[in-house]
Amino acid sequence: MPNTLPSTLPKQRLLITGKSGQLGQSFAKLVNEYPQYDFIFLGREQLDLSQPDSLERALESIEFDTIINCAAHTAVDKAESEPELADAINHQSVKQLAQIAKQRNVALIHISTDYVFDGKNHKPYIETDPVDPQSIYGLTKLKGEQALHRINPKGCIVRTSWVYSEFGNNFVKTMLRLGKERDQLGIIFDQVGSPTYATDLARALLELLKQIGTEDDKSDNQTDEVLPIYHYSNEGVCSWYDFAKAIFELAELTVKVNPIETKDYPTPAKRPHYSLMNKAKIKQDFGLDIPYWKDSLQACLNELQNTNKN
């Protein structure tokens, strides 16, 4: 008898919202590394999170096994002047996605933020620390988390911080632009946290997917009462001042960086002074090896350099 090969298992279909954002584009980079998944990327044209009532209709003809919600209203200062829009995207649409996930019995991985905390800690935040957002952005993201807990689909919440990448607008790209235009800059030194390279976060989420929320029943890490929360950023700690110094050093730009206090650079939204997150839980539950922030910054700068050469 001829040898027969085992039938190929169907690929898991991952619905990625926010395809034009930093994280969405970082997922797109990794498609070839994860052939076990079919990636479905949806942007604002196909899935408008500013119109929560439209989501069910927009998704009714699309088959998927997991939603990874990367879309958000992340313009922290603009959110202060457009709270209704921020709430629609960060809260009401998250509620709708959770209901859709629950109805279809698919997993939902939702990205949240360090801004749910007040920034007054003196040690890294763990997942169960009290929340107390100080901005409209943080408040609407927290309401999204709370809606998820009430509806409790399969999946998890992953909070992250200081996201940057080769894509879109972010601190790294702003510093590189300003570093070529000016010989000195004032950068805040009294806000402390950890940067997150979006490619590292995307890869970590795909690793999580291998172990959580894709079974017919709730995963071992999740009871019927509790939707798991995890913290993820790159390893290490720095201030925005330290971050800027490292960007210029690794990019070989000669820029004098002057440390300034938050009060010297007023913004509409209040930022947490300390938002370092403890990542012990996500490392223990999923065996993740999280890169050091400066190594990931170098990787991003290399990507930007290669892109500029092409």
Q: CA-to-CA distance for 286 and 241, rounded, in angstroms?
A: 32
Handedness of CA 283, 119, 266, 139 (dihedral sign): positive
Catalytic residues: 137
Rounded distance between C-alpha atoms, residue 94 and residue 257, angstroms:
39
Q: Mind giving me the DSSP string for 121-167?
A: -SSPBPTTSPP---SHHHHHHHHHHHHHHHH--EEEEEEE-SEE-SS
Residues 18, 71 contacting (CB under 8 angstroms): yes
Which residues neighbour 127 within 8 Å (Cβ) at sequence distance 6 or greater? Answer: 159, 229, 230, 231, 278, 281
From the CB of residue 132, how many other CB atoms can be counted at a distance below 10 Å? 14
> Among the residues of 189-290, which ranges form H helices?
198-209, 240-250, 280-286
> What counts of helices (H) and strands (E) characterise the chain?
11, 12
Q: For residue 53, give the DSSP letter.
A: G
State the residue for tokens 């206090």: 261
